[in-house]
Amino acid sequence: MSALTLYGIPNCDTVKRARAWLAAEGAAVAFHDFKKLGVPPALDDWAAELGWQRLLNRQGTTWRKLDVAAQAGAGDAAGALALMRAQPSVIRRPVVAWPDGRYSIGFDPDEFARRLGR
């Protein structure tokens, strides 16, 4: 099985839990840090598979700090994707690219175990 890629920011609690769980399971994981490496071109693929609405984290601190105009500008796919590229912290985390080519958002140990065949 090839490595999976986990996308996020290292200080996010959910990303920390996912990384710790994957390490404990011995999974081969590549970590893509949005803060250091930016948002990958795969953002468009994530939006196509998962939906831009699910990717956009409207509960986070970064979203709440945005002015009303910036929030309103994220009301459609183009605006939301532009905001995610400019402010990676508004992307719900972690995003996982699984070896089978599929994607998921968030951390659910049962879902991770199922996808890893455990």
Tell me the pLDDT band of 2, cut-offs 50, 70 and 90: low
For residue range 50-79, list pLDDT tens digits in order.
999 999 999 999 999 999 999 999 999 999
Report how many domains make up the chain.
1
CATH of the domain at 103: 3.40.30.10
Average pLDDT on 88-105 reads 96
- pLDDT averaged over every residue in the chain: 95
The strands making up 4-8's β-sheet, listed across from edge to edge, are: 29-33, 4-8, 95-97, 103-105
The single residue listed with the structure tokens 């959910």 is 14
Catalytic entry in 12, 74, 83, 97: 12
Residue 12 bears catalytic tag: yes
For residue range 75-95, list pLDDT tens digits in order.
999 999 999 999 999 999 999
The first and second tokens of residue 117, run together, are 């065949």
pTM (2 decimals)? 0.92
Residue 26: strand, helix, or coil: coil
Give phi and psi for 59, each to the nearest 5: -100, -15
Structural domain span for residue 9: 4-115
